[in-house]
């Protein structure tokens, strides 16, 4: 009869479980007071210390607003934001990757902030953040922070190979130096086959683009002569190390690979250097930063401006408070602090001097002048989700016919770009 007892216990547990569930839910969502503000920031977009400092200062300045910052994970974030925008009780401010804003703006789920542009100092916003944040002439995303890739290099290995980092101004010089570094058990550069942000930069340098708009329709443009030249350079550079050709820089995290002391350079945001030093303290102080060399010596290479915008969902119940938050966090005071704390490029060009003392940020700022964004269309999110660019790169690097693969990838991009519109 032990089983009868078991059955009894089961039913009991079930009842408690269910009542506990519902109890929880009502407790959590019931406090819809006018002043409670929920903000979604992405994991690691701000450090814990910065978040604490900001929250304390914000609640002191605005005692009527009860601020809750929730950290979101990268995995499945697209679906999560979609679910939030369509809900009746959305979070009030959401951090959205700059390339993702257009698709949400198009859906009508975001609050139009065009009228507030002047109030927020929109005149000097970074183009790479402000342009993707707008859709059909209206501003939905407010520039939050930017980061672009630089060359993170090992000072000691450069010295041993007799390479002067300051003299690396052109791609040719860069290739020659990397060849010198790729010796004696060391990799000249660890560049994975699918680091498509880097490829985008090379393509822009050649005068090409990832996709172009022709007659109201977006088309993949990886098969133009300029884009192919960019890929050829990528291939030459990639061969000067042992980066896997069928993986991207996150798999394994390239900072961890560099921490093993066998790699002279990686292409990364400056924050990557902190991870290297954290994994292997012996490398602390041995890491330097370079803007990615350009085609000619007179200007550094074009880079993809990565970063985030802040958006206010139309379904937010506290839009005024939300705007107050956006204004504070994207304002000059906190932007300077944020850029210093996180090695970011601040959201306005007028604030660039704030980070001049930080070598990583300085190298980044030099590149940021050549910052570009991905095509500003709602369909771009679909391209990133499927990422035919990555497949193309792997195919080209593993002996596929570059031109044919590029045409194939461009076709896939065209399909994805126009699928959403």
Q: Which of the residues 96 through 135 are near another protein (CB under 8 A)?
A: 103-104, 106-109
- Are the C-beta atoms of residues 253 and 275 closer than 8 Å to each other? yes
- Residue 319: partners with Cβ closer than 8 Å, 6 or more residues away: 92, 111, 312
167 binds another protein (CB under 8 A): no
The C-alpha atoms of residue 229 and residue 207 are separated, in whole angstroms, by 10
193 binds another protein (CB under 8 A): yes
3-class SS shares of the chain: helix, strand, coil, % to 5: 50, 15, 35
3 binds another protein (CB under 8 A): yes
266 binds another protein (CB under 8 A): no
Q: With respect to another protein, which residue has the nearer C-beta, 165 or 253?
A: 253
Q: State whether residue 125 is helix, strand or coil.
A: strand
Torsion of CA 243, 203, 379, 74, to 10 degrees: 30
Segment contacting another protein (CB under 8 A): 125-133, 232-240, 322-330, 377-385? 377-385
- In the complex, what is the shortest distance from the CB of residue 279 to another protein, in angstroms, rounded to a whole number? 6
- Residue 412: partners with Cβ closer than 8 Å, 6 or more residues away: 220, 386, 388, 391
279 binds another protein (CB under 8 A): yes
Q: Which of residues 312, 388, 413, 414 is near another protein by CB under 8 A?
A: 388
Q: Which of residues 250, 281, 320, 356 is near another protein by CB under 8 A?
A: 250
**Residues of this chain, 39-98, that bind another protein according to CB under 8 A:** 42-44, 70-71, 73-76, 78-80, 82-91
375 binds another protein (CB under 8 A): no
Q: With respect to another protein, which residue has the nearer C-beta, 225 or 252?
A: 252
Segment contacting another protein (CB under 8 A): 207-215, 223-231, 273-281, 358-366? 273-281
Strands (E), 312-363: none
Q: Which of residues 165, 207, 253, 331 is near another protein by CB under 8 A?
A: 253
Q: What is the DSSP string of 46-96?
A: S-HHHHHHHHHHHHHH-TT-EEEEEEE-STTHHHHHHHHHHSSS--SEEEE
- In the complex, what is the shortest distance from the CB of residue 264 to another protein, in angstroms, rounded to a whole number? 16
381 binds another protein (CB under 8 A): yes
239 binds another protein (CB under 8 A): no
């Amino acid at each position: 009869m032990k089983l009868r007892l078991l059955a009894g216990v089961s039913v009991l547990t079930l009842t408690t479980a269910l009542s506990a569930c519902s109890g929880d839910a009502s407790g959590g969502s019931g406090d819809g007071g006018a002043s409670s503000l929920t903000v979604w920031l992405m994991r690691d977009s701000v450090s814990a210390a910065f978040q604490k400092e900001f929250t304390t200062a914000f609640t002191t300045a605005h005692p009527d607003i009860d601020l809750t910052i929730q950290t979101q994970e990268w995995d499945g974030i697209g679906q999560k934001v979609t679910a939030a925008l369509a809900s009746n009780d959305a979070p009030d401010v959401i951090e959205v990757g700059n390339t993702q804003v257009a698709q949400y703006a198009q859906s009508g789920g975001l609050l139009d902030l065009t009228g507030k542009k002047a109030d927020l100092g929109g005149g000097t916003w970074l183009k790479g953040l402000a342009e993707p944040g707008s859709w059909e002439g209206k501003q939905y995303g407010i520039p939050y922070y930017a980061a672009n890739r630089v060359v993170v290099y090992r000072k000691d290995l450069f010295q041993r190979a007799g390479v002067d980092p300051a003299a690396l101004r052109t791609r040719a010089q860069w290739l020659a130096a990397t060849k010198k570094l790729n010796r004696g058990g060391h990799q000249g550069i660890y560049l994975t086959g699918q680091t498509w942000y880097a490829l985008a930069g090379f393509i822009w340098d050649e005068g090409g683009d990832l996709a172009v708009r022709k007659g109201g329709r977006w088309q993949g443009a990886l098969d133009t002569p300029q884009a192919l030249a960019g890929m050829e350079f990528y291939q030459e550079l990639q061969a000067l190390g042992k980066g896997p050709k069928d993986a991207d820089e996150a798999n394994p995290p390239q900072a961890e690979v560099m921490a093993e002391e066998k790699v002279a350079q990686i292409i990364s945001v400056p924050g990557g250097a902190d991870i290297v030093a954290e994994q292997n303290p012996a490398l602390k102080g041995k890491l330097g930063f370079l803007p990615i060399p350009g085609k000619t010596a007179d200007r550094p290479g074009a880079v993809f401006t990565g970063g985030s915008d802040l958006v206010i969902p139309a379904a937010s119940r506290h839009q005024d408070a939300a705007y107050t938050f956006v204004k504070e966090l994207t304002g000059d005071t906190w932007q300077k602090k944020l850029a210093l704390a996180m090695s970011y490029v601040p959201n306005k060009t007028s604030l660039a001097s704030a980070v001049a003392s930080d070598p990583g940020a300085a190298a980044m700022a030099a590149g940021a002048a050549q910052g570009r964004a991905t095509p500003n269309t709602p369909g771009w999110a679909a391209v990133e989700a499927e990422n035919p660019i990555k497949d193309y790169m792997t195919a080209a690097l593993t002996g596929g016919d570059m031109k044919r693969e590029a045409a194939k990838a461009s076709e896939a991009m065209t399909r994805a770009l126009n699928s959403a519109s």
